Structure 1
């Protein structure tokens, strides 16, 4: 495990694990965001890593978002740098070709929820803690994509209610709305995420990358253009080694052995 101060990076086989590690609440400042960016790029650029997990070392918090005391003490220019880095991190998560899983086991608020929203999949613990975007209580709105990604997950009406009131919800309510993919008992949460990441790590990396491009890119296009995007993406996969291996394995009735080529 590599200790990047407020972010820990660990490689487990084909999985890269980024652990938020700034007690007590993982409230971030610029240094932490920079550390996160460094570790995330390390995982993305490692050809042996095919899936990424983002979790927390805290038993009570996934992430409380920006450190408000730091934010209040900063100059406008300093805060602009922090916001810019946060936005870059969210885009890096969403645009990378590897599936990123958020593991939420405690309060997930503000910029912390925005990190989770940028991830592709969100697993969460069943016990009681808060999930929300309370920026309205500061006279603000989310600034790192929260309003847009939240709306795409839970719909306009639910998003407006959460955003305009700043009220937080439980993990159970987040699951009901579609914000959370699956709920687990705390002791089962990380093993479930690792099991999924391991499965993804054995999958066809090129097809998984194409899946992310199709889903995120197509969601912003009219249907005819989205279907054309899908066509272009799948056409690139037929002659890949993994594509040929997938057909052979199906015919031979055996598990496919994908290599990411």
Structure 2
């Protein structure tokens, strides 16, 4: 591919995926393929438990699909892009690693769908917008926007936002639960990195089990969710990390988790 719009690197035991397609990180088929490749690199990196997805573009996290390209392409080509985008979202949710969307610019349409597929969203205060405006194109979100938004904000709020396509501020996103943490812009990168590094220094197996318990359990009845939790914790007792946690507590020292 001539243009490299999505990069992966490891920084101080934190995986970092940077979206970097001027001017708005609007994505096409090549972009979502590159994003999938970056996710695969992050998944294969055994030294990390956390991945930060952020933008290298000043004013945008991601504006979603490139509408001009979408209009010009055949339905078949557009479907390839959408299918790859959906695989990317599923890979984030299925990963044993914690994904954090670091947001400091406009996060719209498919861009918000990327952010909502992440496990956590840390955002900067400021004059930019979140939104799912697909209804204004005669469509609805197609990469999980309806299902993930309703799980974050509830039925009434999700319907209100989706039926109008209206945008909302970072402060509203935080108050409604779309965003987990809100920082001053100059603090966002450092604070996100510190949090992610703490995860990567932690008990990787237990972190993965926690994500599984929540992601899978929320779709189950309480009884089945409790059963799944039991299965996950029972699998941790005889691991190195499980034993190390107990030993370190008794010996009054910091544990050294190895992810095994």
Alpha-carbon distance between aligned partners in 1 of 2:101 and 2:84, rounded to the nearest angstrom: 19
1:1-261 matched pairs, under 5 angstroms = 5-261=4-260
Runs of 4+, deviation exceeding 4 Å: none
Alpha-carbon distance between aligned partners in 1 of 2:58 and 2:124, rounded to the nearest angstrom: 11
Normalized against structure 1, the TM-score is what? 0.98
Deviation at 1:13, TM superposition (A): 2.9
Alpha-carbon distance between aligned partners in 2 of 1:222 and 1:48, rounded to the nearest angstrom: 35
Alpha-carbon distance between aligned partners in 2 of 1:225 and 1:76, rounded to the nearest angstrom: 41
Alpha-carbon distance between aligned partners in 2 of 1:249 and 1:150, rounded to the nearest angstrom: 40
Deviation at 1:251, TM superposition (A): 1.2
Alpha-carbon distance between aligned partners in 2 of 1:203 and 1:156, rounded to the nearest angstrom: 35
- On the 8 A contact 1:13/1:48 being kept in 2, the answer is no
Deviation at 1:8, TM superposition (A): 1.8
Deviation at 1:4, TM superposition (A): 7.1
Alpha-carbon distance between aligned partners in 2 of 1:121 and 1:184, rounded to the nearest angstrom: 14
Alpha-carbon distance between aligned partners in 2 of 1:50 and 1:223, rounded to the nearest angstrom: 28
Q: What is the RMSD of the two structures over their aligned residues, measured on CA atoms?
A: 1.0
Alpha-carbon distance between aligned partners in 2 of 1:20 and 1:4, rounded to the nearest angstrom: 12
SS at match of 2:157: helix
* Structure 1: 5+ residue stretches without partners: none
* Structure 2: 5+ residue stretches without partners: none
Normalized against structure 2, the TM-score is what? 0.98
